[in-house]
Amino acid sequence: MASVFEKKWNIFVLVATSIFMSTLDSSIVNVALPFMMQDLKTDVQTIQWVVLIYLMTVSSLLLTFGRLSDIKGRKPVYVLGFTIFAVGSWLCGMAKIPELLIAARALQGVGASMLMACSPALIVDAFPVQERGKALGMIGAVVAAGLTTGPVVGGILLEYFSWQFIFYINIPIGLAAAIGGYFVLSGVQTAKGSKEPMDKTGSVLVILVLSSLIVLLTQLSKWGMISILSLSCAALCILGTIGFVINEARSNYPLFDLKLLKIKLFIFPVMGSSILFAALFVIIFMMPFYLTYPCGFTASKTGFIMIVPFLFLLFVSPLSGMLYDKLGSRRLCMTGMTLLMFSLISMMSIQPSMGVLSILWRIALAGIGTALYVSPNNTAIMSCVSLPRRGIASGAVATARNLGMVIGVALAGLIFTSSFSALTNGASLENYIKEMDPFFMLSFKRTMAMSAILSFVGIIVTYARGKENSNVGDETKS
């Protein structure tokens, strides 16, 4: 009994390390972008690909590596993921031109996608039904800790060292975790895999679909709705999706088991997760602009304010995980999505003259709502899928989250930019003056209204999942 107890918590520490490292890295990189741009003598359009290529790579490969972990086992995928992430981090730090940095970030994204695809599956494999909510809730706290720590650590490294060190700190952590993972996962039954053949066609098609979709969403405001580039990406995405569905239906060993779409406690929570993160990232994306321009806050003050939702995520996530073990996911997730909607509605009445407290309670609502939603939602998804398909489900959860983030940022950028440009006769934020405050606030309000509507759709989707079995964590065979 003692060895089983020790093994599951060793696996928890391993998973927590990978999640903390990847979330810390993503939040640090965002802080460092202006410094990279200056040092590498490039422009905003180029440096944004440091973030975009990472997001594209991770999102496109999550399903592939989730399925690969079912086939080859969690251990080789996880250990290799740490190693690739560490090597990618070293190459990022060594890059002297933006093109090499972008390429190294793609490699880093490959490693991160291997880690993210396995993480929920490893936790569900290691912990018994009655403890999964608590364990995944604690993982939610680790995510929040990484996101909260990132800007602080990034600020210190950028002030006393250089942007290269934000990547170098990953190297010892990644290599130590790779060695630790080799020993911790040895002898774990679920880490061995099913040895089924890999659906290579499905992997290529899902990369094509998700890459074209992400490029379309992120570039739509610049290209326009009916440009050749936008229409080409849309056509690639649609044709790729049709091809993917046909391929998965015919394959004996599909990358994504279409039977999972028949499980209400899988499909509706996955959809809800994507909607939640889309609505949340409208706030995460827009608030720094609001705090910088109409409010006139310094970068450090803006940074500390933006930590608030992640602090609530840090403390509320373990609680929501434990509550899932008693209440199930539906009520908690409905409450969480509703709080997020109220946060967005309250943003529509905010004014720069109101002071900091008026900002803090509004974004705190978003953090509490997200914390109440994520852990129970993930536990519900993973607990309704049979063991041989948990890697697929794990990859689907992470893909939904990443796509939600992209959709949120893309929608916010599209609506705000279109509105602000129309109101100011084509002016941009780069030429912002105080007289533009009313136009900024009207565009900001329209963006939040769109996201509030999106979160209302999320409430409907969350309700549609139905009730779990009386024994909350009972698994159904898919």
Rounded average pLDDT per 10-residue block, the chain, 478 residues: 63 83 75 78 75 82 82 82 93 92 94 83 76 74 74 75 87 86 69 68 89 84 84 94 91 82 90 94 84 82 78 80 81 95 96 91 94 88 76 78 82 85 82 89 96 97 80 41
Cα–Cα distances (Å) from 84 to 19, 60, 168, 171, in that order, read 15, 17, 14, 10
Q: Which residues contact 400 (CB under 8 A, 6 or more apart)?
A: 270, 271, 273, 274, 277
What is the DSSP annotation of 26-53?
HHHHHHHHHHHHHHTT--HHHHTHHHHH
Q: What is the pLDDT, as a whole number, of residue 351?
A: 93
Domain spans in the chain, listed from the N-terminal domain onward: 1-197, 199-252, 257-470+474-478
Q: What is the pLDDT, as a whole number, of residue 334?
A: 95
Which amino acid appears at position 131 of this protein? E
Q: How many of the other CB atoms lie within 10 Å of CB of 143?
A: 22
> Is residue 424 helix, strand or coil?
coil
Task: Provide the whole-model pTM.
Answer: 0.79
- Residues 405, 448 contacting (CB under 8 angstroms): no
For the record, the structure tokens of 266 come out as 């899988």
Q: Of 99, 62, 57, give the one whose Cα is nearest residue 77.
A: 62
Q: What is the pLDDT, as a whole number, of residue 189?
A: 52
- Residues 436, 427 contacting (CB under 8 angstroms): yes
Q: Does domain 1-197 have CATH number 1.20.1250.20?
A: yes
Q: What is the pLDDT, as a whole number, of residue 93?
A: 92
Residue bearing tokens 């509507």: 453
- Residues 40, 97 contacting (CB under 8 angstroms): yes
Enter the CATH code of domain 257-470+474-478: 1.20.1250.20
For the record, the structure tokens of 387 come out as 């063991």
For the record, the structure tokens of 232 come out as 């080409």
First and final C-alpha spacing in the chain: 30
1-197 matches 257-470+474-478 in fold:
yes
Summarize the chain as % helix, strand, coil (round to 5). 85, 0, 15
